[in-house]
Amino acid sequence: MPELRIDALAFGGDAVGRLDGKVVFVPYAAPGDTIEIEIVEERPSYSRARIVRLLEPGEGRREPACSLFGACGGCHWQMVDYALQIASKQAIFKRSMTEAAVERVHAISGAPTELGYRRRCRMHWEVSGGEVQLGYYRRGSRELLDAPVCPLLVQPLQLAVDRVREALKGLGRAKGTVAANADLTGQRAHISVRIDEGEAAAASALTRSLDGSPELAGGQVVHNRRASRFGAEWINLRLSEEDPLWGSAVTFAQANLEQDRLLRRRLEQWAKPLEGARVLELFAGVGNLTRAFASAAAEVVAVESFPACATLLRHNAPDVRVIQGDAVATLKKLAGERFDLVVLDPPREGCAAAAPHIATLAPRTVLYVSCDPMTLARDIRLLAKHGLAPRRAQALDMMPQTYHIEAIAQLGD
Ligand SMILES: C[S@@+](CC[C@H](N)C(=O)[O-])C[C@H]1O[C@@H](n2cnc3c(N)ncnc32)[C@H](O)[C@@H]1O
């Protein structure tokens, strides 16, 4: 069996080393490890391998916090120190931003807590003969892995998931998903349980069982596209009761409350000066970022396609003109208008199709919030071709223990 020394962690989660000059990707290996490997896939430019034996651990290697680590598809890097996770994210981010010719890459901002931070989750469940499995998919598969405890979740979210597990025991044969968002002010959660396979009676039984639970602010049980709602319709996604941001189990929320606050602060700083500015925000969600610039700007137009988000966006940012629709289709309709600032926060796949349309709005500045440095780099290159110079970028760690990298980039002035 060949021996391999691991050089670094890579985007996507695997570690990388070189064997006779050829790149080898190995899951669950840590930088500095010397390992015995078995090649499981050969490609012309790289190979994939698995660890057969750890011969010499790297300096940053540690015991993972979760007993399911290695089987569960949720986490990738629990086996390395948090400082090394952060350094690895910075190296990956810096490389992709440098390749996209970004003038200045700021230091990454690490998360204050590396466990117990996730305030939003989506899990799968299956019940058979009173036995409940509720958890995530196994790594690289669609096979359900029961996860009675997830150390990444904030406590109110874990308690809400426990409550759902209890309620599911009462069902016959059924399977589906559960999505939950935590209300940290109320220390409860909002949940949406979807039954994909199961009797209609299961939906009413489940709704009755969940309604009134102290762990749940409210939510819904969905069967055959029919939703039975209970409790509160919305929850507060902020810690402040004076300045709430309303959301629900099915609307997007940044996974990490503290890092979300930092992201909004950075956006506010980089958006300046806003006095008299016309702002266009694409992929606005329920208005989480919108409020970082809405009060100072002269006019804000916010675009969001998901109806449940657009409804809450109107509520959360009443002075903003909300357009419910697809970002690119809306950009085409806005052709000929002028905006000083364009803010966008697309899903992982980025927004390549938007670049030429954004450029025609002649913005002074574009602020791009991203959860994928690879699509961010691609889109920065596209925007740069249209005269928007990539000025600066910063990564912040929204999701410790995973390879995911959240970032903000500024183009233009
Ligand atoms: C990453 S979230 C960002 C939300 C918000 N900025 C925040 O911080 O909570 C992306 C949002 O884009 C919306 N979205 C996805 N595809 C879209 C599209 N083609 N056009 C407009 N909005 C879209 C999603 O519904 C989601 O609310």
Residue 240: per-residue pLDDT: 84
Q: Is 347 in the pocket of ligand 1 (CB under 6 A)?
A: yes
Backbone φ and ψ of 84, nearest 5°: -75, -35
Q: Is 287 in the pocket of ligand 1 (CB under 6 A)?
A: no
Alpha carbons 202 and 159: distance in angstroms, whole number: 22
Taking the CA of residue 371 as reference, the ligand 1 atom at the shortest distance is 1
Q: Is 245 in the pocket of ligand 1 (CB under 6 A)?
A: no
Catalytic residue list: 371
Whole-number average pLDDT of the chain: 96
Q: Is 304 in the pocket of ligand 1 (CB under 6 A)?
A: yes
**pTM of the entire predicted model:** 0.96
- Rounded (10°) angle between helices 200-210 and 155-168: 130
Q: Is 261 in the pocket of ligand 1 (CB under 6 A)?
A: no
Residues 116-175 have pLDDT tens digits of: 999 999 999 999 988 999 999 999 999 999 999 999 999 999 999 999 999 999 898 999
| 8-state DSSP, 348 | T
Segment (H or E) for 178? strand 174-183
Residue whose CA is at the smallest distance from ligand 1 atom 13 = 283
Backbone φ and ψ of 404, nearest 5°: -65, 140
Residue 170: per-residue pLDDT: 87
Residue 324: per-residue pLDDT: 98
Backbone φ and ψ of 365, nearest 5°: -135, 145
Q: Is 339 in the pocket of ligand 1 (CB under 6 A)?
A: no
Segment (H or E) for 52? strand 46-56
Taking the CA of residue 281 as reference, the ligand 1 atom at the shortest distance is 6
Give 225's contacts (C-beta < 8 A, 6+ positions apart): none
- Whole-number Å distance, alpha carbon 284 to ligand 1 midpoint, is 6
- Residue of 238, 264, 283 best suited for mutating to test ligand 1, as the one with most atoms within 8 Å of CB: 283
8 Å CB contact between 332 and 361? no
- Whole-number Å distance, alpha carbon 286 to ligand 1 midpoint, is 9
Average pLDDT over residues 294-316: 97
Q: Report the DSSP beta bridge partners of residue 41.
A: 48
- Could you list the beta-strand ranges (E) of 82-168: 104-105, 120-128, 131-137, 144-146
- Residue of 305, 320, 328, 399 best suited for mutating to test ligand 1, as the one with most atoms within 8 Å of CB: 305
Alpha carbons 17 and 184: distance in angstroms, whole number: 42
User: Model confidence at 239, in pLDDT bands (50, 70, 90)?
Assistant: confident
Alpha carbons 121 and 123: distance in angstroms, whole number: 7
Which residue's entry shows tokens 């602010």? 217
Residues 178-198 have pLDDT tens digits of: 999 999 887 999 999 999 999
Taking the CA of residue 251 as reference, the ligand 1 atom at the shortest distance is 27
Residue 270: per-residue pLDDT: 97
Residue 242 has pLDDT above 90, yes or no: no
Residues 326-384 have pLDDT tens digits of: 999 999 999 999 999 999 999 999 999 999 999 999 999 999 999 999 999 999 999 99
What Cα–Cα distance (Å) separates residue 404 from each residue in 70, 154, 245, 372? Answer: 17, 18, 25, 7
Residues 214-228 have pLDDT tens digits of: 999 999 999 999 999
Alpha carbons 234 and 312: distance in angstroms, whole number: 9
Average pLDDT over residues 247-259: 97
Q: Is 49 in the pocket of ligand 1 (CB under 6 A)?
A: no
Residue 172: per-residue pLDDT: 87
Residue whose CA is at the smallest distance from ligand 1 atom 6 = 284
Residue 26 has pLDDT above 90, yes or no: yes
Residue 241: per-residue pLDDT: 84
Chain CA centroid to CA 364, Å: 28
Per the document, the length of the chain is 413
Q: What share of the chain is helix, strand, coil (3-state, %, to 5)?
A: 25, 35, 40
